[in-house]
Amino acid sequence: MTKVSMTVNGTAASGEVEGRTLLSSFLREQLGLTGTHVGCDTSQCGACVVHVDGKAVKSCTMLAAEADGAEVATIEGQAAADGSLNAIQAAFQEHHGLQCGFCTPGMVMSAAALLKDNPKPSEQDVREYLEGNLCRCTGYHNIVKSIMAASGQDVSALAVE
Amino acid sequence: MPKDSGIGASPKRREDVRFLTGNGNYTDDINLHGQAYAAFARSNVANGKINSVDTSAAEAMPGVLAVFTGEDFVEVGGNPAGWYIESRDGTPMKEPKRPVLAHGKVRHVGDAYAAVIAETYEQARDAVEALEVDIDELPAVASSVAALAEGAPLVHDEIETNLCFDWGWIEDNRAATDEAIKNAPHVTTLELVNNRLVPNAMEPRASTANYNPGTGDYTLYTTSQNPHLTRLLICAFVMGIPENKLTVIAPDVGGGFGSKIYHYGEEALVLAAAKKLGRPVKWTADRSESFLTDAHGRDHVTTIELATETDGTFIAIRTSTLANVGAYLSNFSTCVPTFLHGTLMAGNYAVPNVYVNLKAVITNTAPVDAYRGAGRPEATYSIERVIDKCARELGIDPIAIRRKNFIKPDQFPYTTPVGLQYDTGDYDAVMDKLEEIGDLAGFPARRAESEANGKIRGLGINSYIEACGIAPSNLVGVLGARVGLYDAATVRVNATGTLAVMVGAHSHGQGHETAFPQVVAEMLGIDEGLIEIVHGDTSKIPFGMGTYGSRSLAVCGSAVVRATEKIIKKATKIAAHMMEASEADIEFKDGQFSVTGTDKSVAFGEVAFKAYVPHDFPAEELEPGLEETAFYDPANFTYPAGAYACEVEVDPDTGKVSIERFSAADDFGNIINPMIVDGQVHGGIGQGIGQALLEGCVYDEDGQLLSASYMDYAMPRADDLPFYAVDHSCQTPCTHNPLGVKGCGEAGAIGSPPAVVNAVVDALQSAGKDVTHIDMPLSPGRVWAAMNG
Ligand code: FES
Ligand code: FES
């Protein structure tokens, strides 16, 4: 067992982990941050996406020990302290970008990383960026729409090209 | 102006906030004090004789608390098939026992034969590796065709055949249908495969059990679409636990699509382990286990014949299908290929003769059961593909041939030759709408543009009907169902005027927590925000049958309406008492009870308060409280229908298909929340396009699952799919439920696969290729081979 320490959503967090403990398990099981989901075992579904030092990573693909000393952001830290949703979260609610909610934390965290690098993405940019995030419920229509809306674009006319 | 609340409005979903902030409460998020962890040992051969399972080394591993094998469950019952089917010759279907853990034999890759409980998940997994097992691999059968071959290995020795049943629907139609086909001027024949799929809800299955030795009470948290059904199966058939001693809680569930309807052995195992150890026991599937053990969908091999006049008038449809049901009969596996498939084989058409033969075949693969659409996508695919082929052979436009044969609005109620009575519909109106939203008139110009870009373009049309709102208990009882298919709701008005509505339906993405309050609020004339939906906990809700078959609103929503009507009735009595008027003079409107012809009125909230502070109630005449329950059993199925158009571009060099436009016009009857309905259709279309272009669950001939991860099973991703144009403004309300609703959850998955395949065939034909059919998924390799074959 080794000790890891990191900052999670702005708060210091630490714990004892095995060498093989994944960051996703550390967040879920030791810190109780169960908003980060695990949907696969081959790094494909993106339900587990969090930000480590400002970059989107699949937390099922990173060892907790590798995140020692890092700044980690998860879905639990995205809304404001008073509970109000951030722009991406609000757009997902406004445009029905979620159904069962299981892929949603990963979608929101991926979208945040996309919009940081590409503040006005095209439909194609969004679709390509979401390659690593699976959703089985929405057919992606409203997810793509939500992310474009969150970037301030007018989505009222989006349907068939 | 669109409404902003009540029926027909699209209030934002109240469930979203918890999901968007990481505050959802899924089964794996729940941790009980002192919990241990279960891991399963699963067969890596498709058919094998278990000689021995030596647990001693595993038991000695660090942290191990208990090891279970099939031996531990020989005394308990088996997981039953929920629907009895009789073969054409009157013999009963073959029902092999499905044990909690395999005993004597393993019958598919992933079949669990032992389980280890340990202090940590990792220790349990490590100990599974230490089990010493001696299994003799036997020859296996993975496909329905192979399993019926002469001398094929048997999956279950004791039933002496792999044929579960040979069903005819309707047997009395057989001779006339044969005769009509023999004498018809034109017969189109098509052989097709409806590809096997893995449902792939994004949340893997999980179950955590707790047992209180002081009371003998069990609690099971599990990923279920229908907690009462799961409890019934566990208690009455598998474990023998008294029903009042087991609470089943299905908290937030991350998608189901059918795969979480059924009871699975892992649920029984954690319950048994929790009792034995006196500690909570938790199990969560990893994705590989989901691929191996979640009930799969589809897997039909069909020959369909369509007999017509030379002008395209339909005379007869005859189909012959092999349905792979897997190694054990999952709970609805026998009803899906029969009563959810054969009964739909007339489609939207006035066709006088229909006969369906279906053989259900047991194989060494994971069980196959309902997956979004369940039987109806298979029926629609067969019909709509053969119609397209027929239209081409006869030189008739694909829309024209459909219109020519549609059941017309004045023919409803319409009884089909396969035993359903469609209550309402207007298939021409839906087709008109499709032509409009899909701009089908503009297709030739778009085709020319694609061709100018070196691509070939095709247009595929489909029209579908489904039977939803499952199902009238008296009817399904006659047909072999071993359960009733009503649903239930309790409306509890609190003293301060807020409401809790306890429903038997379960929401795992469908937005019930938002849509059901719209119904109640509309009826009571109160703010939706006052109403809370409670679901998923057998200790809180009335006995309902859960969510599948697009039934939540049509069946459970109707129960909500009935219970709310009872509330109004009781509240009217109280209001009459409060205003010293006669009940007959009380009028209820917009949340106010008033005495006709006077200015006296009391608000709903005041009545609620009075109900719980009944200081002056006449004891004999008026009971305190305001809480009512209703069970609702539908009088018929509901019949959503629609027309879909898909436009594809095919790259002639690679065979890659891209979806350029997708339009869906549906008639769902009345609509409660259009935003949620759009979302349901989008999701269904995504899955339908996935089936048509990408997804295929593949076993090799030895029964090894080749597509057991997201590396090998192609899930639709955002850049495989377009925006969809969806419309549900054509509305012929259901005539027999109080909301006039038909259900929308499965439509997209039913309507889209034939539209996609028809489009690809159209594209290839336009390029002069003599291709009449390609089996799904239409991967670039298959399309390229068809073009160059
Ligand atoms: S859980 Fe990390 S990618 Fe699927
Ligand atoms: S909302 Fe259910 S998986 Fe995306």
Domain residues of chain A, as ranges?
Answer: 2-76, 87-150
| Pocket mutation for ligand 1, best pick of A43, A110, A131, A133 (most atoms within 8 Å of C-beta) | A43
> How far is it, in rounded angstroms, from Cα B785 to Cα B581?
81
Nearest ligand to the CA of A27 is 1
CA of A35 to nearest chain B CA: how many angstroms apart?
4
For B113, the 3-state DSSP assignment is strand
Look at residue A160 in the predicted model and tell me its pLDDT.
44
> How far is it, in rounded angstroms, from Cα B415 to Cα B590?
40
Look at residue B218 in the predicted model and tell me its pLDDT.
98
B28 contacts on A by Cβ (under 8 Å): 28, 34, 38
**Residue for token pair 């934390």:** A105
Bridge partners of residue A17, in order along the sequence? A2
CB atoms within 10 A of CB B606: 17
Nearest CB to A160 within list B508, B661, B718: B661
CA of A69 to nearest chain B CA: how many angstroms apart?
23
Burial B456-475 (b: 16+ CB within 10 A, else e): bbbbbbbbbbbbbbbbbeeb
CB contact under 8 A, A138 and B683: yes
**Closest chain B residue to A128 measured between Cα atoms?**
B719
CA of B567 to nearest chain A CA: how many angstroms apart?
31
The domain ranges of chain B are 18-138+202-255+260-293, 300-471+636-787, 486-632
CB contact under 8 A, A102 and B201: yes
Residues 6+ apart with CB under 8 A from B688: B377, B748, B749, B750, B751, B752, B753, B756
Residues 6+ apart with CB under 8 A from B593: B571, B572, B575, B579, B586, B587, B601, B602, B603, B604, B607
Residues 6+ apart with CB under 8 A from B129: none
How far is CA A53 from each of CA A74, A89, A110, B459, rounded to the nearest angstrom? Answer: 11, 21, 14, 48
> How far is it, in rounded angstroms, from Cα B631 to Cα B130?
51
> How far is it, in rounded angstroms, from Cα B115 to Cα B124?
9
Closest CA relative to residue B84, chosen from B312, B338, B401: B338
B255 contacts on A by Cβ (under 8 Å): 99-100, 102, 136-137
Q: Nearest 5°: CA angle at B475, between B751 and B379?
A: 25
How far is CA B391 from each of CA B267, B380, B399, B401, B683, rounded to the nearest angstrom? Answer: 50, 16, 9, 7, 30
For B530, the 3-state DSSP assignment is helix
Local mean pLDDT, 10-residue blocks, chain B (789 residues) = 86 97 98 98 98 98 98 93 97 97 98 98 97 98 98 96 98 98 98 98 98 97 98 96 98 98 98 98 98 98 98 98 98 97 98 98 98 98 98 98 98 97 98 98 98 97 96 92 95 98 97 98 97 98 95 97 98 97 97 97 98 94 97 97 98 97 98 97 98 98 97 97 97 98 97 98 97 98 95
CA of A80 to nearest chain B CA: how many angstroms apart?
10
3-state helix, strand, coil in chain B (%, to 5): 30, 25, 45
Each residue's pLDDT tens digit, B611-660:
999 999 998 899 999 999 999 999 999 999 999 999 999 999 999 999 99
Tell whether B39 is within 8 A of chain A (Cβ). Answer: no
CATH 1.10.150.120 fits A87-150, yes or no: yes
- Assign residue B3 a region: left if phi > 0, alpha if psi is -120 to 50, beta otherwise? beta
Tell whether B644 is within 8 A of chain A (Cβ). Answer: no
Residues 6+ apart with CB under 8 A from B90: none
Burial B80-108 (b: 16+ CB within 10 A, else e): bbbbbbebeeeeebbbbebbbbbbebbbb
CB contact under 8 A, A160 and B29: no
Sheet containing B586-589: order of strands: B586-589, B592-595, B601-603
Residue B186: what residue type?
H
Tell whether A104 is within 8 A of chain B (Cβ). Answer: yes
Closest CA relative to residue B369, chosen from B322, B299, B290: B299
Look at residue B402 in the predicted model and tell me its pLDDT.
98
Nearest CB to B509 within list A36, A89, A99: A99
A108 contacts on B by Cβ (under 8 Å): 20
How far is CA A37 from each of CA A54, B116, B202, B258, rounded to the nearest angstrom? Answer: 19, 24, 10, 21
CB atoms within 10 A of CB B397: 12
CA of A147 to nearest chain B CA: how many angstroms apart?
12
Q: Which residues line ligand 2 (CB under 6 A)?
A: A 98-104, 135-138; B 202, 255, 509
Closest CA relative to residue B24, chosen from B254, B315, B344: B254
DSSP secondary structure string for all residues of chain A: -EEEEEEETTEEEEEEE-TT-BHHHIIIIIS--TTS----SSS-S-TTEEEETTEEEEGGGSBGGGGTT-EEE-GGGSS-TTS---HHHHHHHHTT--SS-SSHHHHHHHHHHHHHH-SS--HHHHHHHGGG---SSSTTHHHHHHHHHHTT---TT-S--
How would you class A13 by CB atoms within 10 Å of its CB: exposed for 0-12, middle for 13-18, buried for 19 or more? middle
Look at residue A159 in the predicted model and tell me its pLDDT.
62
Of the pLDDT bands very low, low, confident and very high (cuts 50, 70, 90), residue A161 is very low
A143 alpha carbon – ligand 2 mean position (Å): 10
**Mutation test of the interface with chain B: which of A141, A153, A155, A161, choosing the one with the most B Cβ atoms within 10 A?**
A141
> How far is it, in rounded angstroms, from Cα B371 to Cα B728?
23
**Closest chain B residue to A44 measured between Cα atoms?**
B710
Look at residue B1 in the predicted model and tell me its pLDDT.
55
What letter does residue B365 receive in the DSSP assignment?
S
Tell whether B297 is within 8 A of chain A (Cβ). Answer: no
Task: Say yes or no to pLDDT of A22 above 50.
Answer: yes
Q: In B, residues 476-535, which contact A (CB 8 Å cutoff)?
A: 508-511
Chain-centroid distance, C-alpha B455: 37
Tell whether B63 is within 8 A of chain A (Cβ). Answer: no
Within this chain, domains B18-138+202-255+260-293 and B300-471+636-787 share the same CATH topology = no
Give the count of Cβ contacts less than 8 A between chain A and B: 203
**Residue for token pair 């369940």:** B374
CA of A71 to nearest chain B CA: how many angstroms apart?
18
Joined tokens for residue B352: 């006088």
Look at residue B384 in the predicted model and tell me its pLDDT.
98
Closest CA relative to residue B686, chosen from B639, B751, B730: B751
How far is CA B470 from each of CA B21, B170, B332, B381, B635, rounded to the nearest angstrom? Answer: 35, 21, 12, 21, 10
- Assign residue B92 a region: left if phi > 0, alpha if psi is -120 to 50, beta otherwise? beta
Q: Nearest 5°: CA angle at B109, between B107 and B113?
A: 65
Closest CA relative to residue A78, chosen from A26, A35, A31, A45: A35
Q: Which CATH number fits domain A2-76: 3.40.50.1820, 3.40.50.300, 3.10.20.30, 3.40.50.170?
A: 3.10.20.30
Contact B398, B320 (CB under 8 A): no
The CATH code belonging to domain B300-471+636-787 is 3.30.365.10
> How far is it, in rounded angstroms, from Cα B158 to Cα B156?
6
> How far is it, in rounded angstroms, from Cα B491 to Cα B566?
9
HEC secondary structure over B454-480: CCEEEEEEEEEECCECCCCHHHHHHCC
For B432, the 3-state DSSP assignment is helix
How far is CA A74 from each of CA A14, A55, A104, B500, rounded to the nearest angstrom? Answer: 15, 11, 12, 33
Q: What is the mean pLDDT of residues A84-92?
A: 98
A135 alpha carbon – ligand 2 mean position (Å): 5
Nearest CB to A42 within list B13, B253, B709: B709
- Parallel, antiparallel, or unpaired for β B641-650 and B657-667? antiparallel
Q: Which residues line ligand 1 (CB under 6 A)?
A: A 38-40, 43-48, 58, 60
Each residue's pLDDT tens digit, A111-154:
999 999 999 999 999 999 999 999 999 999 999 999 999 999 99
**Closest chain B residue to A103 measured between Cα atoms?**
B202
Tell whether B712 is within 8 A of chain A (Cβ). Answer: no
| Pocket mutation for ligand 1, best pick of A26, A34, A38 (most atoms within 8 Å of C-beta) | A38
Joined tokens for residue B185: 């001027």
CB contact under 8 A, A139 and B682: yes
Closest CA relative to residue B505, chosen from B467, B565, B560, B561: B560
CATH 3.30.365.10 fits B486-632, yes or no: yes
Nearest CB to B202 within list A79, A134, A158: A134
CA of A16 to nearest chain B CA: how many angstroms apart?
14
A120 alpha carbon – ligand 1 mean position (Å): 27
A138 contacts on B by Cβ (under 8 Å): 679, 682-683, 686
Nearest protein CA to atom 3 of ligand 1, as residue: A43
What letter does residue B495 receive in the DSSP assignment?
T
Nearest protein CA to atom 4 of ligand 2, as residue: A135
**Closest chain B residue to A37 measured between Cα atoms?**
B203
B291 alpha carbon – ligand 2 mean position (Å): 18
Ligand 2 atom at minimal distance to the Cα of residue A143 = 4
For B305, the 3-state DSSP assignment is strand
Residues 6+ apart with CB under 8 A from B572: B583, B586, B588, B593
> How far is it, in rounded angstroms, from Cα A19 to Cα A15?
12
Tell whether A16 is within 8 A of chain B (Cβ). Answer: no
Tell whether A52 is within 8 A of chain B (Cβ). Answer: no
Look at residue B4 in the predicted model and tell me its pLDDT.
84
Residues 6+ apart with CB under 8 A from B161: B94, B154
Each residue's pLDDT tens digit, A45-76:
999 999 999 999 999 999 999 999 999 999 99
Q: Nearest 5°: CA angle at B331, between B327 and B333?
A: 60
Q: In A, residues 60-79, which contact B (CB 8 Å cutoff)?
A: 74-76, 78-79
CB contact under 8 A, A159 and B723: yes
**Closest chain A residue to B506 measured between Cα atoms?**
A100
Bridge partners of residue B218, in order along the sequence? B211, B246
> How far is it, in rounded angstroms, from Cα B757 to Cα B765?
12
Q: Which CATH number fits domain B18-138+202-255+260-293: 3.40.50.2000, 3.30.70.1380, 3.20.20.10, 3.90.1170.50?
A: 3.90.1170.50
Tell whether A144 is within 8 A of chain B (Cβ). Answer: yes
> How far is it, in rounded angstroms, from Cα B268 to Cα B716?
33
CB contact under 8 A, B287 and A39: yes
CB contact under 8 A, B719 and A124: yes
